[in-house]
């Protein structure tokens, strides 16, 4: 029986499951490609993508580029870093196999045996002398024998050091060279990895309603974006083509559980997190309000407000806005997975004024959330001080010794609640719902809300702008 498979993943905005089947037509196109491929000494994955426009795209895994095949998602800048890495690797291997290492090892073994034999001889001699003492032999003569053996032992150790020390110095110098080249290779590799992560982030998610940071919280694994499925989906999007079927197969010598001509699925570590976002439609950032001083944008979930600390989480709202608004300045931040109204200043004076309103708590904020279960209360005020959770870095908890934190809440419909934070603590609403109402927000993996997208949306902001009240509102996407 034919085993069916479907490439699928959630839309980063709506959470709706998006699907692309490995259709019979895609498998037939893949088999046609198999008939055209030569035998390979090293195996790799190949893939075909069928489109509604009738175009068939082909790809193979890796970073190489060949005419007629989907190109790498990200191309390295013109740089000799990869060549330098290969050269350093070859130098390290050559140094590590220098004959001096073998000569030293063999000579140390010889001297170990020689000294061991001498120690055995000394032990037997001592036993013999002890026996002679008991028989009344001259003690002075026995002491002299012992001293002569000690002298011979010292001479042997001196001879050993005279032979080994020059080799040890040579090996030590080789090891120093190896360590230096490893250090240089590590630095170059880190530099290249940063370039790859930044380039991959820009190539994959620039302008999208998601980022690599949201898909790979700990950073993308090495090789992310090099597999066939992501390359084919990105190329289809670049060409404006609509995918209708996708199939991937292994070609070349058997490797582990992969056999030539067999169909396989998206790898869980590198590809699966990308499938849903790459199947989603591109939705540009929506501007709610704009004048010469102020910009209000709807932040999609899964995109940072400002750059993170690592090379793989530099994609953010601020960088996406800069091409059109070079002078844009942040006013506040929303969590990575939180969507909704996000304010930006277009000059320093406006930034300072808006931040003053935030700090003075004169700006009214309203959030919507879907809770994982119905709380007993329908309205009220959660007054629970918050502090860092010492057992979970980056998380918070209700702490009597923490900072004052107050959140008003109101049930709107079933598990849909409105929240108005009266203070501005990190993760305030998320902790207050999880630990104050005993009902985490849906999709809040940090505080017990389960998998799926976080259902927390910054619905509205009320502020004073140019001396007049201004209300900014964005409908919840869920």
Query: What is the reported pLDDT for 58?
Result: 97
The predicted-structure confidence for 42-75, as pLDDT tens digits, reads as follows 899 999 999 988 899 999 998 778 899 998 887 6
Averaged pLDDT score across all residues of the chain? 89
Query: What is the reported pLDDT for 226?
Result: 83
CA distances from residue 385 to 239, 398, 420, 421 in whole angstroms, order as listed: 53, 6, 16, 13
DSSP character string of 50-62: EETTS-EEEEESS
Query: What is the reported pLDDT for 316?
Result: 83
Query: What is the reported pLDDT for 222?
Result: 74
Higher pLDDT among residues 307 and 417, named by residue:
417
Parallel/antiparallel/unpaired status of strands 294-299 and 339-345: antiparallel
Instruction: Extract the tokens encoding 187.
Output: 């630095």
Rounded CA separation 366/188 (Å): 47
Q: What is the DSSP letter of 39?
A: P
Known catalytic residue: 335?
A: yes
Instruction: Extract the tokens encoding 78.
Output: 């013109």
Query: What is the reported pLDDT for 292?
Result: 95
Instruction: Extract the tokens encoding 219.
Output: 């950073």
| Strand, helix or coil for residue 99 | helix
Quote the longest CA-to-CA distance of the chain. Answer: 117
Query: What is the reported pLDDT for 302?
Result: 81
The predicted-structure confidence for 372-391, as pLDDT tens digits, reads as follows 999 999 999 999 999 999 99
Burial readout 248-260 (b: 16 or more C-beta within 10 A, e: otherwise): bbbbbeeeeebeb
Residue 171: how many CB atoms within 10 A of its CB?
17
Instruction: Extract the tokens encoding 208.
Output: 């999208």
The active-site residue, picked from 138, 335, 383, 444, is 335
- Mean pLDDT on 434-449: 93
The predicted-structure confidence for 27-46, as pLDDT tens digits, reads as follows 999 999 999 999 998 899 99
Q: What is the DSSP letter of 311?
A: G
Burial readout 31-50 (b: 16 or more C-beta within 10 A, e: otherwise): eebeeeeeeeeebbbbbbbb
Check: pTM over 0.95? Answer yes or no: no
Instruction: Extract the tokens encoding 388.
Output: 């860092």
Q: What is the DSSP letter of 178?
A: H
Query: What is the reported pLDDT for 288?
Result: 96
Say yes or no to pLDDT of 353 above 60. Answer: yes
Query: What is the reported pLDDT for 418?
Result: 98
Query: What is the reported pLDDT for 84?
Result: 84
Q: Where are the domains of the chain?
A: 6-73+225-279, 83-196, 286-473
> 457: closest CA among 15, 6, 2?
15
> CA angle 194-196-201, nearest 5°?
95
Q: What is the DSSP letter of 355?
A: H
Q: Classify residue 68 as left (phi > 0), alpha (psi -120 to 50) or beta.
A: left
Say yes or no to pLDDT of 431 above 80. Answer: yes
> CA angle 404-408-412, nearest 5°?
155
Say yes or no to pLDDT of 449 above 80. Answer: no
- Positive or negative CA dihedral for 37, 43, 44, 47? positive
What's the start-to-end Cα distance of the chain, in Å?
40
| Strand, helix or coil for residue 268 | coil
Say yes or no to pLDDT of 1 above 50. Answer: no
Confidence of residue 109 (pLDDT cuts 50, 70, 90): very high
Query: Spelled out in words, what is the top-level CATH class assigned to the domain 286-473?
Result: alpha beta
Say yes or no to pLDDT of 202 above 70. Answer: no
Q: Which residues lie closer than 8 Å to 229 by C-beta, 6 or more apart?
A: 7, 47, 246, 248, 266, 271, 274, 275
> 73: closest CA among 206, 268, 257, 166?
206
Say yes or no to pLDDT of 214 above 80. Answer: no
Confidence of residue 220 (pLDDT cuts 50, 70, 90): confident
Say yes or no to pLDDT of 401 above 60. Answer: yes
> 473: closest CA among 334, 340, 290?
340
Higher pLDDT among residues 287 and 189, named by residue:
287
Query: What is the reported pLDDT for 128?
Result: 83
- Mean pLDDT on 399-416: 96
Say yes or no to pLDDT of 12 above 90. Answer: no
CA distances from residue 400 to 91, 385, 403, 422, 429 in whole angstroms, order as listed: 59, 6, 8, 18, 17
Strand order from edge to edge, sheet including 56-60: 56-60, 44-51, 243-251, 263-264
Q: Please list the residues that pair with 342 across neighbouring strands.
A: 297
Kindly report the length of the chain: 478
Q: Which residues lie closer than 8 Å to 26 by C-beta, 6 or more apart?
A: 48, 49, 50, 245, 246, 247
Cβ(476)–Cβ(463) under 8 Å?
no
Cβ(321)–Cβ(295) under 8 Å?
yes
Query: Spelled out in words, what is the top-level CATH class assigned to the domain 6-73+225-279?
Result: alpha beta
Helix axes 139-205, 99-134, angle to 10 degrees: 150
Rounded CA separation 63/233 (Å): 16
């Amino acid at each position: 029986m034919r085993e069916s498979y479907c490439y699928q993943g959630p839309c980063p905005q709506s959470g709706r499951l998006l699907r692309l089947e490995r259709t019979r037509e895609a498998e037939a196109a893949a088999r046609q490609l198999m008939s055209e491929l030569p035998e390979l000494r090293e195996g790799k994955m190949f893939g075909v993508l069928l489109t509604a426009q009738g175009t068939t795209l082909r790809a193979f895994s890796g970073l190489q580029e060949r005419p007629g095949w989907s190109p790498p998602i990200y191309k390295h800048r013109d740089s000799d870093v990869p060549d330098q890495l290969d050269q350093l690797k070859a130098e390290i291997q050559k140094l590590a196999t220098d004959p001096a290492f073998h000569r030293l090892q063999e000579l140390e073994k010889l001297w170990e045996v020689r000294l061991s034999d001498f120690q055995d001889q000394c032990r037997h001699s001592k036993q013999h002398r002890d026996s002679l003492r008991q028989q009344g032999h001259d003690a002075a003569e026995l002491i002299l024998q012992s001293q002569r053996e000690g002298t011979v032992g010292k001479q042997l150790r001196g001879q050993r050091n005279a032979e080994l020390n020059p080799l040890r110095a040579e090996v030590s110098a080789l090891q120093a060279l190896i360590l230096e080249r490893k250090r240089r290779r590590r630095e170059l590799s880190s530099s290249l990895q940063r370039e790859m992560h930044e380039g991959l982030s820009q190539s994959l998610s620039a302008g999208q309603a998601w980022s690599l940071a949201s898909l790979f919280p700990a950073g993308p694994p090495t090789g992310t974006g090099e597999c066939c499925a992501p390359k084919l989906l990105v190329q289809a999007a670049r060409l404006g083509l609509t995918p209708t079927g996708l199939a991937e197969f292994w070609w070349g010598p058997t490797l582990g559980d992969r056999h030539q001509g067999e169909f396989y699925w998206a790898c869980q570590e590198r590809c699966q997190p990308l499938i849903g976002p790459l199947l989603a439609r591109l939705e540009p950032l929506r501007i709610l309000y704009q004048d010469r001083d102020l910009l209000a944008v709807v932040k999609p979930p899964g995109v940072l407000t400002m750059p993170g600390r690592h090379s793989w989480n530099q994609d953010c709202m601020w960088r996406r806005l800069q091409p059109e608004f070079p002078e844009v300045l942040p006013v506040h931040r929303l969590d990575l997975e939180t969507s909704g109204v996000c304010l930006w200043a277009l000059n320093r004076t406006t930034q300072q004024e808006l931040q003053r309103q935030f700090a003075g708590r004169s700006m009214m904020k309203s959030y919507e959330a879907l809770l994982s279960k119905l709380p007993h209360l329908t309205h009220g005020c959660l007054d629970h001080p918050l502090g860092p959770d010492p057992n979970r870095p980056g998380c918070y908890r209700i702490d009597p010794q923490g900072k004052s934190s107050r959140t008003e809440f109101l049930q709107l419909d079933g598990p849909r609640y409105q929240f108005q934070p009266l203070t501005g603590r990190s993760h305030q609403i998320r902790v207050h719902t999880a630990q104050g109402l005993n009902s985490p927000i849906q999709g809040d993996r940090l505080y017990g809300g389960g998998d799926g997208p976080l259902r927390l949306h910054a619905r509205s902001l009320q502020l004073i702008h140019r001396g007049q009240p201004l209300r900014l509102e964005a409908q919840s996407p869920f």
